[in-house]
């Protein structure tokens, strides 16, 4: 796909109205090996946000409210494009929103105004009031099982309430729960028959998923280790492969051809990633979408 062809095919305003893209992004241990930095992550997020927002779409992110995190970065992108219809849904797991005082959460909501919506979830992933089972001060630390359940609940909620899922980077180790977070988010997306977009050019668990699903052969970067020794990761990857084969055969059903999916899995250019994702959403879910292209 040439750059000229991509520019000609960009989506018109309003073509992604009511389409919400879930964004999963986490640090990748492969960045230095690939000659990339954290800034490349943020540039990619900015480009994806631009393409989705100017086409009338929405974004959803499940994370935290730390000042230097991706949530704050996405809010700044909304400010740039002037959306005042809560075009970003910030989903907070039970284990996240209970770290903060009620007054701090209220202040965050006021600061967001019409830019973004805060959704507070219980351990099973159902929306609840911010003051459910608590007072002003943060409750005592949660046990590991409750944290695991609340993160799984968050990921299932997002799969139910978004129309597509984009993965970038992701930890392979030091994760909470039964599997890496982005791997579980991919599994939830596949089980919900949701379009899945694997931006694997930044390495991490996203690239490992692309290799496991046969999207990429992993030969483009020397010494990139996609093997896993953690039994939990191996079991989860097998579960993902089985879920995809059971529901879709070998197809991601995401609006991209096999060649385009391979391009997305190996690319680290922000504008190219954003263009591929936005075009796929337009083909698959847009108002004027035509025949689907399945990778």
Please name the residues in contact with 46: beta carbons below 8 A apart, sequence gap of 6 or more: 73, 77, 270
Segment 49-67 shows an average pLDDT of: 92
- pLDDT the model gives residue 253: 85
Mean pLDDT for all residues in the chain:
89
Segment 62-82 shows an average pLDDT of: 88
Segment 221-242 shows an average pLDDT of: 82
Return the structure tokens found at 220.
Answer: 């483009």
Helices and strands counted in the chain (H then E): 11, 6
Flag whether pLDDT at 135 surpasses 90. Answer: yes
Give the integer Cα–Cα distance in Å for 33 and 88: 32
DSSP 8-state code for residue 229: -
- pLDDT the model gives residue 68: 84
**Are the C-beta atoms of 192 and 159 separated by less than 8 Å?**
yes
Q: By percentage, how much of the chain surpasses pLDDT 90?
A: 68
Helix axes 181-191, 204-212, angle to 10 degrees: 40
- pLDDT the model gives residue 222: 63
Q: How many CB atoms within 10 Å of residue 111?
A: 12
Q: What is the pLDDT of residues 44-57, one digit of tens each?
A: 999 999 999 999 99
Query: Between 222 and 239, where is the model more confident?
Result: 239
Distances in whole angstroms, Cα of residue 281 to Cα of each of 47, 58, 119, 150, 286: 15, 12, 24, 29, 6
Element (H, E) at 90: strand 88-92
Q: What is the pLDDT of residues 77-131, one digit of tens each?
A: 888 887 889 999 999 999 999 999 999 999 999 999 999 999 999 999 999 999 9
Q: Assign 4 a pLDDT band (cuts: 50, 70, 90).
A: very low
Q: What is the pLDDT of residues 156-187, one digit of tens each?
A: 999 999 999 999 999 999 888 889 999 999 99
**Are the C-beta atoms of 158 and 182 separated by less than 8 Å?**
no
Q: Within a 13 Å sphere around the CA of 280, how many CA atoms are in the beta-carbon half? A: 32
């Amino acid at each position: 796909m040439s750059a000229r062809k991509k520019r000609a095919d960009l989506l018109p305003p309003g073509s992604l109205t009511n389409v919400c893209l879930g964004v999963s992004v986490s640090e990748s241990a492969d960045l230095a090996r690939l000659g990339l930095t954290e800034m490349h992550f943020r540039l990619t997020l900015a480009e994806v946000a631009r393409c989705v927002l100017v086409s009338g779409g929405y974004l959803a992110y499940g994370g935290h409210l730390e000042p230097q995190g991706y949530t704050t970065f996405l809010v700044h992108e909304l400010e740039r494009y002037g959306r005042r219809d809560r075009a970003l849904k910030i989903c907070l797991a039970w284990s996240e929103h209970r770290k903060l005082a009620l007054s701090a959460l209220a202040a965050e909501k006021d600061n967001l105004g019409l830019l973004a919506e805060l959704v507070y979830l219980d351990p099973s992933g159902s929306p609840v009031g911010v003051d459910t089972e608590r007072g002003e001060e943060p409750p005592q630390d949660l046990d590991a099982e409750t944290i695991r359940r609340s993160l799984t609940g968050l990921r299932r909620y997002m799969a139910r309430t978004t129309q597509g899922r984009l993965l970038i980077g992701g930890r392979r180790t030091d994760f909470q729960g039964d599997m890496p977070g982005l791997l579980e988010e991919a599994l939830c997306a596949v089980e919900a028959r949701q379009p899945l977009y694997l931006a694997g050019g930044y390495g991490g668990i996203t690239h490992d998923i692309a290799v496991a699903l046969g999207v990429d052969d992993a030969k483009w970067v020397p010494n990139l280790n996609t093997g896993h020794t953690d039994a939990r990761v191996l079991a989860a990857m097998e579960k993902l492969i089985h879920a995809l084969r059971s529901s879709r055969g070998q197809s991601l059903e995401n609006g991209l051809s096999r060649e385009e999916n391979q391009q997305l899995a190996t690319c680290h250019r922000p504008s190219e990633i954003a263009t591929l994702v936005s075009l796929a959403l337009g083909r698959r879910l847009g108002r004027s979408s035509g025949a689907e292209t399945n990778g």
